[in-house]
Amino acid sequence: MSKIHVKTRINGEAAEFLCEPDETLLEALRDRLHLTGTKEGCGSGDCGACSVTVNGRLVASCLMLAAEAEGAEIGTIEGLAKGAELDVLQRKFVEHAALQCGICTPGFLVASKALLEKNPDPTEEEVRYWLAGNLCRCTGYDKIIRAVLDAAAEMRRA
């Protein structure tokens, strides 16, 4: 079976790639485009490490075919900072020591960004439930939740 030609936009720039029909968006991002900031932790939508946005909607890129990305706007961790300037969420994760091993961090950041765009003033409980699909095994989530709430507060002040 021949490959599918997919034209898409990734982090605001046009991108195209060839993929197999059964290839996931995660595989295309990592293995075709070498955007390895998006991680695979489970391949079954249970861990959130592969979180990206598709047309502004948070999804698990391991549960989406690459072919479905035709014409879509994809957002990945690589697009979060503006050049050398970190996004406020990235800055707060560093400040709060909200990462230890860091493998889940890209997924948490992409998911948190999607949350704050939808809800700029979430409660602790709302943050915890929104991020329930992002597993972290190092931190016990404590510092992650604090970092997201602090980022939200700073964004509201700005």
Partner 1 sequence: MALDEYEKRDFKVVGKRMPRPDAIDKVTGRALYGADMHVPGMLVGKILRSPHAHARIKAIDTSAAEALEGVRAVVTGADFPDIAPGEARNVRDNTMARDKALYDGHAVAAVAATSAAIARKALKLIRVEYEILPHVTEISDAMKPDAPVVQEGFVQENVPEGFSENVISYHQYGHGDLDAGFAQADKVITRRFRTAATHQGYIEPHAALASFGADGTADLWVCTQGHYFVRQLCAEILQMDQAQLRVTASEIGGGFGGKTTCFIEPVALMLSKKAGAPVKLVMTRQEVFRASGPTVSSEIEVRMGMTKDGRITAAEAELHYQGGAFPNITVQFGAMAAFACYDLQAVQTRGYNVLTNRPKQAAYRAPGAPMAIYAVESVVDELCQEFDLDPLEVRLKNAARKGTRASYGPTYPDIGLVATLEAAQAHPHYSAPLGPNQARGVACGFWFNFGGDTSVSLSVDFDGSITVTEGNPDIGGSRVSIAMMAAEELGVPYESVRAVVTDTGSLGHNEVTDGSRVTFAVGLATIKAARAAKREMCRRAAKIWGIDEDAVVWEDGCAKPAGPNAGKFEPLSIKEIAAKSSRTGGPISGHHEVNAEGAGVSFGVHIADVEVDPETGHTKVVRYTVFQDAGKAVHPAYVEGQMQGGAAQGIGWALNEEYIYDEQGRLVNPGFLDYRIPVASDLPYIDAVILEIPNPGHPYGVRGVGETGIVPPLATLSNAVSRAIGRRMYELPMSPPRILKAIKGG
Partner 2 sequence: MQYLAPTSVDEVVAALAQADGRARVLAGGTDLLVQMKSDMIAPDILVDIKRIPELREITREGGGWRIGAAVSGAEFNEHADICADWPGLAEAFDLIGSTQVQGRCTLAGNLCNASPAADSVPAMVAADAVARVAGPNGTRDVPVVDIPVGPGKTSLAAGEFITSIFLPARAPRSADAYLRFIPRTEMDIAVASAGVSLTLDDDGSCVAARVALGAVAPTVLLVEKATAALIGTRLEGAALAALAQACESAATPIDDKRGTVEFRKQVVGVLARRAARVAQNRAEERA
* Interface with partner 1 (CB under 8 A), residue from 9, 43, 68, 155: 43
* Interface with partner 2 (CB under 8 A), residue from 4, 86, 138, 155: 4
> Should residue 54 be labelled a site residue for partner 2 when binding is judged by CB under 8 A?
yes
Which secondary structure element, helix H or strand E, spans residue 152, and what is its range?
A: helix 142-157
d(CA 64, CA 110): 16
Kindly state the tokens that stand for 4.
């599918």
> Should residue 24 be labelled a site residue for partner 2 when binding is judged by CB under 8 A?
yes
Question: Choosing among partner 2, partner 1, none, which partner's interface includes residue 111 (Cβ < 5 to 8 Å by kind)?
Answer: partner 2
* Interface with partner 1 (CB under 8 A), residue from 26, 64, 144, 152: 144
**Closer of 15 and 114 to partner 2 (Cβ):** 114
> CA 136: distance to chain centroid?
14
Question: Choosing among partner 2, partner 1, none, which partner's interface includes residue 10 (Cβ < 5 to 8 Å by kind)?
Answer: none
User: What residues contact 25, with CB distance under 8 A and at least 6 apart?
Assistant: 52, 54, 61, 62, 64, 65, 66, 68, 69, 74
